[in-house]
Structure 1
Amino acid sequence: MEFRVLGPVQVEGHGGVRALRGARQRRLLAALLLDVNAVVPTEQLIDQLWDDPPDTARQQVHNAVAALRRWLGDGGAESTIVTDDIGYRIVVRPEQFDLACFLDAVSAARAAEEAGRTADAVASLGAALGHWRGPAFAGVGGARFANAAARLAEQRLAAREKLLSLRLDLGEHEQVIGELTELVASEPLRESPRRSLMLALYRSGRQSDALQVYREGRQALAAELGLDPGPELVDLHSRVLRGDPELLGDPVLAPHRDEPAVPVVAERPSFLPHGTRDFTGRDAELDLLLAELTVRPDSGPVILAIDGMGGVGKTTLAVHLGHRLEAEFPDGHYFVDLHGYTAGRVPLTPAAALDLLLRSSGYPAERIQDDLTARAAQWRSHLAGRRVLLVLDNAVDEDQVRHLLPGTSGAVVLVTSRHRMSGLEAAVPVSLDVLPHDHAVELFTRVAGLRRTEDELADVAEVVRLCGRLPLAIRVAASRLRHRLSWTAGHLARLLRDESGRARLLAAGDRSVAAVLEVSYRHLDDAPRRLLALLGVHPGTDFDPAAVSAVGDVELLTAEDLLDGLVQAHLVTQHSPGRYRLHDLVRDFARSALRERGDDERLEARHRLFDHYLHLAGVCCGPIARGFSRIEPDLVHPPRHVPVIESEPAAMELLKAELQNLVATARAAIEEDWTAYTWQLPCVLEPFFSRVNYRESSLDIFRGALEAARRHHSVRGEAAALTNIALILRDRGWYDEVRRLLLDAIGLTRRIDDEPAVAYLLANLGIAHIRAGDLPQASETFSQAREIAMRLEDRQGYAAFTNNIGAVSSRMGHTETALHYFSEALGICRDLEFHQGEAITLINIGEAHLLAGRAETAVERLASGLGISKRISYHPGSCFALSWLGAAHRELGDLGRAHELGTRALELSRGANIGEVECDALAALGETALAAGQPAEAGRLFEEARTRSAELHLPLLAGRACEGLAHVALAAGDEERARRHWETALGHYPAGIAAAGNARDHLAALGGDPVSCQRCRTVAAAPGIRRVGRE
């Protein structure tokens, strides 16, 4: 008895084909044969027999198997169905099963071919294909059978292709043309049968037909997939075109002709490849190229050199431009692939390229000179006086191109290369970058089809981003979506987010992003190839030569030279002077290449890079670090290059340029559990984070630092991490938690007898007390810090803490006392050139003068503080200064300037995420609006200030916002609403705060005499508000 699945499922015995008893029995037999001689679990059989299994499915399977076993026994089958603990197994000998016979015959053919027995291989493949009667498992539905059928159909097709190819090797080229023509018609996108058909036609003396088969294939690939033929097919086309006699094989089998094969040449040679139907974008580049063509030199051709990374669309652009220019070049259009970056191919030599070009132009083959110089002269002479377009595609370098250039001024040459042709004389360079976002989305939509994308534009945008806006990657991804009807763009995006599988998804046959990059990679010398792989360890967005010096363990000048070479090869992009980056897909490739070099080299490079950034942070932050942030980095690999920091602003600018890399390195250290870096890097960077107000965004980093410091048993690291977490939470208004964390940090710091750090921690605790409204406790805490600084002769700390005491005095209404403290602090800051302290003190002095009614003096001091803050990139200082300057100009009556400064303060504080200044600026703008007679706008601003202050737990600013709302109500004549707002304001103000006096005075005088109110002085223009001066 024989079992057949290569067609309709059948069983044949001595009496012929036996009729199976219904669809379920056929399906059951097919399911057992699909895993022949292996146990098929009962659950799997249930799934294959029913879409919605009944409750009795297990019993029904048992009954059906028993019935099938009896049916097979009635037919005299030697095969049996064996019951197992988990399911059933059908036992069939290989010679009884058509699928086993097919696979055995294919294996026998493979062995015969490897042994050089081509005729035996042909016989085995013929026998293998003879087992097929139609599509496998025909008539049996279900996903598992469909998948198996598709897999077997591919094996059948491969066997058929191999059979026809072997028959070609036996010289049966004329006999196989019919079968190959049928196969190519049914599988127009498969390149193997098309290649065989071209060979068969060429060997049969039908050279023009062979070239036509290539053109049809190229058009089909372009129309369906937006792709060009693969390198093997392109190579065969070139060889057929030039009449390569080696393609004829055995001379006995050569075509019967008196003359040697020569290319078929049209009256006007036109060898441009088919244009891409879905060409998208590149308007700016096309305009530039066309503009260059308007200026023709008096002698020599116009040479346009298009360079860019692999897959960016250089050839597509050159061909598109070539077709646009066809009418301008009546004497011919030539195209030659120089194979500079073709996988598995040696770049075409200039001599070989000239031979191809001369033959293509109709030049007699027997007259072509062997000498390169003579051959180049023949080419130039042949084109003299002719208007021709020459596309030299895929050039490896300038030397490959020079001998191919025409000498006539009527010619235009388009050169494409991944190498910048900076050494090609008179060439106009045009570098291609990845597509702009909109054009990238448009390309994806054109290839995938509008119906597949129109409802998923956000997902399409994400796919395009994950493809790095690289045209090749976009085309391959879009083709996958187009040909997988069950997929959505969202599903494709999810697959592409997985870096480990991205390279596989961005591959279609021999066209893949990874393959393109692999060719560029292999073209590099050892040193740049090693460096590109090592750059895969970089976790950030871009890098400078100093970072590359560390990664590669090379001198700085060497790093710069290697980077220049990688830029020339379009594997690294220089996006600004001294700054470089990797394309996302190049980074993926670099990481893959690095894995091949081994873990030891990867880890050493990672260590060097992390040490570089840790050292950089220490050099830049060391001069401005105080207290707990004074941490000496512990380096394993001191970097070769030590940056020279000329000034504090220069240090801040350097760190701003490296911010994303520093943060990425800190997060990578957390992910990889590199303990020393995890806590050291963010804690060393704390002064910088404070300057640029990056604390809020770094909470996860400092939490990771805390865990690492505890694992590392670093008391200093733990205290520093606790402090930084406290500072972040302080800005969120979590004052109880902040005070607990700071007290823990103070306890740890006292354990290691670090009194300078204790002083600065006390100062931060004092600021938390101010924010919480406990001014007496804040003053006491600052005084403790000041005493420590005095004992340690820490003049900088002493100045900072004295300034803080002055700030508390000012808020309590003791203006002259506050100014005394400020004056002492300012003098010390200037002596020490402590610029941040100088800026803070000047701003505090300006605020104190403003509260005392001395607006002109306030403007002078605040402007000085603003100037210093800008110069040293101290964002919080700039924000506070702008807000108080606005208030000062309002009091001076310049409402326009007040509004301008308040708006700048609001925008800057929101951009820098400084909530305290945001609330202050909102209230200040509200007071300006009220003074300008705009009560509705003032009410909106005060209400926003109140809401935001409540969110941030800032009671003093919440009280100020409520005072503003009270003044708006009073201006409208609504004394009852004003009363409620002033009472609410008093509830926000803690004991001892001077600002509470304004609200108390108003509440006491409602309906009576005018009151003395500092706030009223700022809004005197508002109708209905009565005011008297406080002087």
Structure 2
Amino acid sequence: MPRPLAEFVGRSTEILRLKEQLAPFGETPPSPLVIITRPPGVGKSALAAHVAHLAKDRFPDGQLYVNCRGAMPDLPALTPIDVLGRFLRALGVPPSAVPTDLDEAAAAWRSRLHDRRVLVVLDDAADLAQIRLLLAASLGNTLLVTSRETMSWGEDAVQLELARMSQAESATMLAKLAGADRISAYAGETARLVRLCDGLPLALRIAGARLASRPDWSVSALAARLSDEQTRLNELAVGDLAVRSSLAASHTALERGSRPVDRLAARTLSLLGLLHVPEVTAEAAGALLGVTSGEAEAALERLVDAYLLDRSGPGRYQLHDLIRLFAGELHPSDWREALIRALSYYAASTRLASHVSDPHRTQPAAPVDAVPHEVRTAEEARAWLREEEAVLSAAAVQALHSPDDTIARLGVNLTFGLQWRQERAYHMTEMKELNTLALRVSERLGDEAGALLAHDHIANALRLTGHTDEAVTHLRAGLELARRLGDAFSEMRTLGNLSSAYNSGERYEESLPWAELQLSLARSIGASVGVRYALLSMGYSHLGAGRPEEARETLHEALAEAEKAGDIGQEGVIRVALGEAHVDLEDPKQALPHLLRAREVFEANGYRIGKLRCLIALSRAYRMLEDPDRALSCVNEAVVCGGGLGHARWEQRLREERAAVDATQTAAPRPGSTTPAC
């Protein structure tokens, strides 16, 4: 048996469980088969050696050990007859008498272990086929197996999936290797170092050894070196220990696998390293690989079985950091085609989902030649966009930073496809950052139409976060581009956005002329969406300027246009403004139907700012109707709805409305009263 590590730390729960299997209480025989699995570098072999030494007294007839070489890229894995031959010779069978026939060797193995108590450690087993014939040993003997593969066996097997080390265990390992004072003095940097090592004992041993050999290095110095993703795997090497070679062994084993799914899994890992997203689905992986989603799922599950990939949720998969860095180094020759396929899938899927979620919105993203994720209803489309948004944003950032023109254009397309989702969810920071990158790419490529859209989207993010003048600067640049391109629709849209920018900045008299210009142009080119948007903006301008009667007339005209078009999203926005106009006219009964309908629309489509504005108006209406309980319910819901939005103007109005509601509340609740739903 290999000696146990002198610096072995942690794993107390795992050790207790394994000892219960190898050395149970009383006369209970040990478990015949105990398997330790999980990813390369997680410490399976070290744990097996440690526990084997702790339990050796329960196996007085001997302990046998063999490295099965299941994941050694430079040496072939031992065959079943190789393993049996080594063990039979160790048990006293003369070399000349060791059977060469596999079945005869297995029979001799069973005979030699009959009525004995032997602990057999099979380290780094490739799979069950390699060790299957050893499993028929008589009761009282135990096979302790480590493997990078999931192994499914019968009722007599116990499988322990070894997790990455906890923060405390990792810090203890570093302290044993590099000195407790040195590690404890920099707790924050130690925690950072542990995260960079991904909780893998192999990486932690290497980091600790490097600190021990360099007493002039601080913990923060090593953490800084590991922070560079380009060189992290280079830094995690000392002597013959290296995280890269450990991971390479698993990848090579798949490449050399006898089954097609093994080889597809190896290719999948190399291609996943290209895609800088937090997680993937089988459908996205299928696009990346150029295979069906069913084939991709089989390859992903094979990587899960090999502990090179984790399930992050139902149908979703993610790479741990060090494995991701290793996969990124594999760089297959067809990387560009694969990346374009994946980005095209994301762009096409985003555009389709955005359209299905609200067919009345103009889609700024151009069509993409790829099979998209299928969504049939608005609810499905919104759910898909909500679940995938972080992935889509990451893919867009990656593409926008690419020097490759085709890939960068896909990044612009994907950015534009996210526009309506980001506005509804009020993800203004992401909208501004992505579209700023999209503007740079469009200008680099001489794409004035793309630059126009990017200016428009940046302005939208700026005006919704209270930066009116900056928004206007971008919109004027976009207006100039639209006129130079002779694009009347974009000119019309930009005029309306200029009106919205001034309305959002509470500069209502400046807003009105731009809305009137939009209305005139929209009617001349037959753009009904522009007509109703212009009427809405005019209504907002009148409302903000203290002319609620004029606002009401204009908004009723806008509502008729929206209902005629079946534009439910726009209908909700118009009804909020109409409700506010009726409240300003001290007619809360007329306001309520509009506001309640708008609330239903916003709950369905997830438009957060619209719902916040609607709830504040509802609270005002209920206060005017002397219904303080419903007003309070609306304010409470508005607090939840508006939490974390960061919209200064509406957060201020919410605070003012909350104060007004509090002032109307009686000192004590009426007997038997309850707060009704808003």
TM-score, reference length from structure 2: 0.86
Matching residue within 277, 286, 295 for 1:549: 286
Q: Which residue of 1 aligns with 2:304?
A: 567
Provide closer, same or farther for how the CA distance between residues 523 and 857 of structure 1 changes in structure 2, counting only shifts above 3 A: farther
Tell me what 1:120 maps to: none
Which residue in the other structure is 1:759 paired with? 492
Aligned to 2:544: 811
Question: Are residues 1:631 and 2:631 paired?
Answer: no
Distance 1:867 1:302 in 2: 62
Could you tell me how far apart the structure 2 residues matched to 1:523 and 1:321 are?
A: 27
CA distance in structure 2 between the aligned counterparts of 1:881 and 1:431, rounded to whole angstroms = 51
Gaps of 5+ in 2: 256-262, 671-678
Counterpart CA distance in 2 for 1:910 and 1:932 is 23
Matches within 5 A, 1:81-230: none
Aligned to 2:384: 654
Tell me how far 1:397 sits from its aligned partner. Answer: 0.7
SS in 2 for 1:279: coil
Contact 1:628 1:761 in 2 (8 A): no
Of the three residues 229, 238, 245, the one matched with 1:515 is 245
Check conservation: 2:31, 2:157, Cα contact below 8 A. Answer: no
Aligned match for 1:483, one of 213, 232, 235: 213
Q: Quick one: structure 1 residues 855 and 502, their matched pair in 2 at CA, closer, same or farther if it must change by over 3 Å?
A: same
Q: Which residue of structure 2 aligns with residue 309 of structure 1?
A: 39
Counterpart for residue 134 of structure 1: none
In 1, distance between residues paired with 2:164 and 2:316? 18
Contact 2:400/2:409 (<8 A) preserved: no
Q: Name the residue aligned to 1:183.
A: none
- Residue identity (%): 28
Aligned to 1:688, which of 387, 402, 421? 421
Q: What displacement does 1:891 show?
A: 5.5
Aligned to 1:920: 653
- Give the conservation status (yes or no) of the 8 Å contact 1:887–1:898: yes
Change (3 A) 1:885 1:295: farther
**Using the alignment, how far apart are the partners of 1:344 and 1:711 within structure 2?**
47
Which digits, 9 at most, give the CA deviation of each residue in 1:768-810, with x for residues without a partner?
Answer: 2213333233233223323433444433443333333333333
Compute the displacement of 1:894 (Å): 6.4
SS state at 1:867 partner: helix
The equivalent of 1:499 in structure 2 is 229
1:562-711 matches, within 5 Å, as 562-594=299-331, 597-598=332-333, 601-623=334-356, 624=358, 629-633=363-367, 635=368, 638-639=369-370, 641-673=371-403, 674=405, 675-711=408-444
- More displaced stretch, 620-629 vs 924-933: 620-629
Instruction: Work out which of the residue numbers 345, 370, 380 in structure 1 matches 2:75.
Output: 345
Q: Distance in 2 between matches of 1:465 and 1:722?
A: 39
1:360-409 deviation per Cα after TM superposition (whole angstroms, max 9, x unaligned): 44566665433322222333343344455433221101101211114434
Equivalent residues of 1:385, 1:408 under 8 A apart: yes
Q: Which amino acid aligns with 1:590?
A: A
Partners in 1 of 2:362 and 2:391 — Cα distance? 24
Look up the match of 2:66: 336
Q: Which amino acid aligns with 2:204?
A: I
Q: Deviations over 1:473-524 (max 9, x none)?
A: 1221122112210001111011112233222211122211111111111111
Match of 2:178 in 1: 448
Where in structure 2 are the equivalents of 1:253-264 lying within 5 Å?
none
Whole-Å separation in 1 of the counterparts to 2:553 and 2:12: 67
Q: Secondary structure at the match of 1:401?
A: helix
Q: Aligned in 2, Cα 1:454/1:826: closer, same or farther, shift over 3 Å?
A: same
User: Compared with structure 1, are the counterparts of its residues 801 and 385 closer, same or farther at alpha carbon in structure 2 (3 Å cutoff)?
Assistant: farther
Q: Which amino acid aligns with 2:484?
A: R
Question: Which letter does structure 1 place at the counterpart of 2:232?
Answer: R
Q: Secondary structure at the match of 1:757?
A: helix
For 2:444 and 2:648, the matched residues in 1 are separated by: 34
For residues 271-330 of structure 1, give each alpha carbon's deviation from its aligned partner in whole angstroms, at most 9, with x where no partner exists. 47425543224637965995899899x999543333211101222333444455455555
Alpha-carbon distance between aligned partners in 1 of 2:521 and 2:166, rounded to the nearest angstrom:
59
SS of equivalent to 1:642: coil
* Structure 1, unpaired ranges of 5+: 1-270, 935-1020, 1022-1031
Q: C-alpha deviations, 1:436-457, integer Å up to 9, x for none? A: 4444344333433221111212
User: Relative to 1, partners in 2 of residues 1:483 and 1:747: Cα closer, same or farther, differing over 3 Å?
Assistant: same
Q: Distance in 2 between the 1:358 and 1:277 partners?
A: 33
Of residues 269, 287, 299 in structure 2, which corresponds to 1:532?
269
Q: Which structure exhibits the higher relative contact order, with contacts defined as CA atoms closer than 8 Å and separated by 6 or more residues?
A: 2
Secondary structure at 1:419's aligned position in 2? coil
Number of residue pairs aligned between Structure 1 and Structure 2: 657
RMSD across aligned C-alpha pairs, in angstroms? 3.5
Which stretch of structure 1 is more off in the superposition, 897-906 or 742-751? 897-906
Equivalence for 2:675: none
Deviates more, 1:362-371 or 1:518-527: 362-371
Distance 1:480 1:361 in 2: 41
Contact 1:514 1:589 in 2 (8 A): yes
Contact 1:886 1:924 survives alignment (8 Å): yes
* Matching residue of 1:374: 104
Q: 1:259 maps to which residue? A: none
Alignment of 1:763-802 (within 5 A): 763-802=496-535
Distance of 2:209 and 2:627 partners within structure 1: 64
Q: Which amino acid aligns with 2:398?
A: A
| Matched residue type, 2:460 | L
Choose 690-699 or 893-902, whichever is displaced more.
893-902
| 2:452 equivalent to 1:715 | no
Give TM-score scaled by structure 1 length.
0.58
Paired residues of 1:865 and 1:881 also in contact (CA < 8 A):
yes
> Equivalents in 2 of 1:792, 1:744: separation in Å?
22
Q: Secondary structure at the match of 1:403?
A: helix
Stretch deviating more after TM superposition (612-621 or 469-478): 612-621
Secondary structure of the residue that 2:134 maps to in structure 1? Answer: coil
1:392 aligns with 2:122: yes
| Residue 804 to residue 396, structure 1, CA distance change in 2 (3 Å) | same
Matched-pair contact (CA < 8 Å) for 2:81–2:102: yes
Contact 1:889 1:897 in 2 (8 A): yes
